[in-house]
Amino acid sequence: MRNIHCLNNISPYGTDLLTDSYALTDDIESAQGILVRSAAMHDMEFSENLLAIARAGAGVNNIPLDRCAEEGIVVFNTPGANANAVKELVLASMLLGSRDIVGGIEWCRENADDPNIGKAAEKAKKQFAGREIQGKKLGVIGLGAIGGQVARAAVDLGMQVVGYDPGLRIENAMSLPSELTYVTDLMQIARVCDYVTIHVPAIPPTIGMINAEFCEAMKKGSVFLNFSRDTLVDLAAMRVALEEGRVAKYVTDFATPETMTMPNTIVLPHLGASTAEAEDNCAMMAVRQMMDYLDNGNIVNSVNYPALSMGPVPADCGRLGVLHKNVPNMIAELSTTISGQGLNIATLNNQSRGEVAYTLIDVDQEGAQAAADALAAIEGVFRVRLVK
């Protein structure tokens, strides 16, 4: 029986997928897997029993990824599971940035006691006039699961879409609308687009990528939408652009002390994935990925180890999962050690990711545990699992 601990409330649509070989537990020390949403884990000490952490969502800044990698704990996330929820909020926010809907709502509330509010509204409404998005140019920075959906929806709404993504994956490129204009110069997005939306992870190359140069180049009267991470935008530079009128609206899903004092800003309380459907989808994806790893050793959508899948464990084999440093001659040493145990290697696959790597090996069932123990003694090996 494998124990799973939930650090946050996880949708039952996910936990109900756990098979009879799994049990939910309140004892985190006995858990082989942890399901989490937003709970902070950086100060936690992890039990030797813990094999995997699955984040029911995309962002993983609440999890110590490097430390988990060194302890042989695979961390999963669920990219794309909440993409539709974020896409819909981006579209709604683009309209909020185009039409002064918020200002109009506030005016109505402020004048709620006026018995002639209907007539007064007819006179007041001109101050809340906006513009239509049809025919306007939308720049999409990051064309992954969310950015791709935003691009397709914008085309359907009659917008001209310009896309930028230096790390564009083939599978994402194939799903983009043919009407999209792809550019390789980020500054071109700033110069020509009426609206700009960003959908990239917050990693060293992207943090602060919307800098002073970008803000100064933005088309006058444009709207910038940030539903990814607050750290992607240099807020001081954005403040200047808003004060000078180059940017008409900054719409963000991240409330910070800085954004709350910036003019012409619409701030939402991180609502991007806050739908029942998104929470259900993320929970189901997280549980399925965790079970596939615990049951078969397969890794899909890990954020600290490479993807590697060999399907179900063959009935006549024992499967060894080796989490190790990405160093020369490691595969040779793994193979030699297994051969030294008198075992035949049926299948061996290896993938690396930066400084870490993962190797799956199918061997004869008899003697597989002894081989696992021998592999664990190799320098540079973090953890060895006999998957069963």
Q: d(Cα 15, Cα 286) in Å, to the nearest integer?
A: 9
In terms of Cα–Cα distance, which of 228, 273, 274, 218 is closest to 251?
228
Which residues are paired to 161 by β-bridges? Answer: 138
Q: Do residues 76 and 54 lie in contact, with contact meaning Cβ atoms separated by under 8 Å?
A: yes
Low pLDDT (below 70) residues in the chain: none
Residue type, 180: L
For residue 333, the model assigns a pLDDT of 97
For residue 203, the model assigns a pLDDT of 86
Q: d(Cα 34, Cα 383) in Å, to the nearest integer?
A: 18
Tens-place pLDDT, residues 257-283: 999 999 999 999 999 989 999 999 999
For residue 59, the model assigns a pLDDT of 83
Q: d(Cα 227, Cα 150) in Å, to the nearest integer?
A: 12
Tens-place pLDDT, residues 140-159: 999 999 999 999 999 999 99
In terms of Cα–Cα distance, which of 269, 202, 191, 256 is closest to 229?
202
For residue 82, the model assigns a pLDDT of 93
pTM to 2 decimal places: 0.83
For residue 202, the model assigns a pLDDT of 87
Tens-place pLDDT, residues 84-128: 999 999 999 999 999 999 999 999 999 999 999 999 999 999 999
Catalytic site positions: 229, 258, 270
Question: What percent of the chain clears pLDDT 90, i.e. is strictly above it?
Answer: 94
For residue 169, the model assigns a pLDDT of 86
For the stretch 254-277, what's the b/e string if a residue is b when 16 or more beta carbons lie within 10 angstroms of its beta carbon?
beeeebeebebbbebeeebbebee
